[in-house]
Amino acid sequence: MRELKGDWRDLFNGFMVALDLRKCFLALCGIVVTIILCGGLTITLGHTLDKPTVNAPRDLVLHKWWGAQMSAWDVIYDGAYAADGSRLPNTLVAIAYTIVFALLFIAIWSYFGGAIARIAAYEIAKDGERIETRKALQFSRKKFWSFFWAPLICVIGFLFFALCNWVGGLIGRVLDLAWIGAPLVALLLPLAILSGFIMTLIAVGTFAGFPLFAPAVAAEGTDSFDAVSRGFSYVYSRPWHYLWYQVVTSAYGYLCIGFVILFAVTMCYLGLEAGREGFELSGLWKAREGDSSFGDVANASWHLILSDQHHAGSYRWDPTSIATGPHPYGRLQVLSNAIVGVNHQSLGDLKGSHAVAGFLVTLWLAITLGLALGYVVSYFISQQTMIYFILRKKVDGIEMNEVFEESEEEAKPVEGGPAPETAKPPEGAKAEPKPSEPPQEEKK
């Protein structure tokens, strides 16, 4: 990693800071757990409410899973049932689902995201020196509640002031039965406006500053309140700097993420193609009639991962079209399909050992490309950690190489405590005699 300057130029170190197999693996674990728990909860509930509309996809194409999530949300929140639109959503079910989903999501990324932020913070401060993954996970576990409560504190604070206004309006409505409620509410309107001002500060600070909460805990070893305080302080103290850092991070990330994903797709494709050529002796060994070739196995596996809805004509590639409609996900799918050349219409019927081979190829592709997908999360958290360090230096004057180290916080022996006991000899053992003193010469 290049020497840090303490300004926006340090953000261009983000590519290498995020390109860490351990961070990508932790991110992949977080993505998988999120899909299983949060996604499973959403799709299961949506399918229970409306079976024809919500169904889990049978492949690994990301946008199809996202589409299933969106359909489930329509059912849960809007009551958009397939049969007719007359059924209203169950408000209690929607509220309970929202709370459970939010708590699950925050808990998952408090653990995995906290560990990624800790690795990134240590690497940034120590000039590329890397902390062990085990220690990062231990840190994330010890500071779990700090990571977990930081965003929730903001939500609770916002709801508190909103509830105060709601209760004030309720009291005014009751008093209005005696014809004094409306004038009293109007008289006390400045308090409601002040409460709205505080809610707006919390909302803006949370929306803009929440990416800094986890880096604050990872870098300082602090609690939730201090993390929120630092996030709000840095955003409101240097708003234009913060906005510029996020713009640079987004533009640079567009290129970095695209490169990593396309590199991973090309790597997998070339590896499979080389194996296919050897398996089929470069076309000299023909498969028996009715039997599938290794090319069919690879094609079926790619079909389960790459989209069949994104083809060469999906987007225009002139600079103006790319600038006005970047669509990074769709364009990466188009480029990936172009690299691999998947035939989505002609899929061989895999049987026997070839079906097993297809499952294993799909598994390895999912793991490899999943690590590339994990780079997206690793890049985001690593760059937010870098932004935190830069803002910390500008606002608090703390150097970039300062980071919390757990060794400094180890417990020390209590002063005035009992002295450690000396080991006693076992019972029955004879005490060793003291050596006799040498005879002293008599003085004359």
pTM for the whole structure: 0.84
Whether residue 443 is predicted with pLDDT greater than 50 in this model: the reply is no
Of 310, 351, 362, 312, give the one whose Cα is nearest residue 333.
310
Model confidence at 117, pLDDT cuts 50, 70, 90, reads very high
Give the confidence band of 80 by pLDDT, cuts at 50, 70, 90. low
Q: What pLDDT sits at residue 178?
A: 76
Averaged pLDDT, 422-433: 49
Query: Which CA distances in Å does 372 have to 24, 45, 50, 379?
Result: 7, 30, 34, 11
Question: What is the pLDDT, as a whole number, of residue 380?
Answer: 96
Instruction: Taking residues 111-127, report their average pLDDT.
Output: 92
DSSP 422: P
List of residues 6+ apart from 347 with CB closer than 8 A = 296, 299, 300, 303
Q: What are phi and psi of 327, to 5 degrees?
A: 40, 65
Phi, psi of 387 (to 5 degrees): -60, -40
- What are the angstrom distances between the C-alpha of 378 and each of 193, 374, 385? 41, 6, 11
- Tell me what pLDDT residue 410 has: 47
| pLDDT band at residue 69 under the 50/70/90 scheme | very high
Q: Tokens 């939010």 label which residue?
A: 102
Question: What is the Cα–Cα distance from 54 to 43, expressed in whole angstroms?
Answer: 7
Neighbouring C-beta atoms of residue 198, cutoff 10 Å: 15
**Residue 142 confidence (pLDDT):** 94
What does the pLDDT look like over 353-402, one tens digit per residue?
878 888 899 999 999 999 999 999 999 999 999 999 999 999 988 888 88
| pLDDT for the residue 415 | 47
Distance CA 391, CA 381 (A): 15
Q: Judge contact between 31 and 105, C-beta under 8 A.
A: no
The one-letter amino acid at 79: G
Question: Concatenated DSSP letters for 317-359?
Answer: -SHHHHHH---HHHHHHHHHHHHHT--SS------THHHHHHH
pLDDT digits (tens, 9 = 90+) for 35-51: 999 999 999 998 888 88
